[in-house]
């Protein structure tokens, strides 16, 4: 059985600083896509300008799904990383 995503909001560019980091509509799962060939750092913080919870490198031209708490915020090293709130279904 294959798994499909449910799109819950419009895709938007990731903010590029902790002060403007986004919850992506209080999403608990965010689909992230790096639209360039350059690897970009993605960071998760407790809240805007808050404590860094973790970060990872999103390779160029790739997609990842990030699970987080609804209050946690995301920002990226460039606005060429796009995010959208999603869910999963069968």
Q: Which domain covers residue 20, as residue numbers?
A: 4-89
- Reported as a single tens digit per residue, the pLDDT across 7-23 is 999 999 999 999 999 99
Take residue 69 and report the two structure tokens written for it: 């708490």
* Tally of domains in the chain: 1
The DSSP bridge partners found for residue 5 are 88
CB 18 within 8 A of CB 75: yes
- Reported as a single tens digit per residue, the pLDDT across 30-82 is 999 999 999 999 999 999 999 999 999 999 999 999 999 999 999 999 999 99
The DSSP bridge partners found for residue 76 are 42
Q: Which residues contact 68 (CB under 8 A, 6 or more apart)?
A: 27, 28, 29, 30, 44, 74
Take residue 78 and report the two structure tokens written for it: 């460039």
């Amino acid at each position: 059985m294959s798994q499909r995503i449910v799109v819950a909001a419009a895709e938007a560019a990731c903010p590029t600083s902790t002060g403007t980091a986004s919850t992506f509509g209080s999403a608990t799962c965010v689909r992230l896509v790096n639209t360039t060939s350059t690897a970009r750092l993605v960071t998760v913080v407790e809240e805007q300008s808050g404590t860094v919870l973790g970060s990872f490198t999103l390779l160029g031209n790739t997609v990842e799904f990030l699970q987080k708490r609804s209050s946690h915020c995301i920002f990226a090293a460039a606005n060429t990383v796009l995010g959208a709130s999603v869910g999963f279904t069968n």
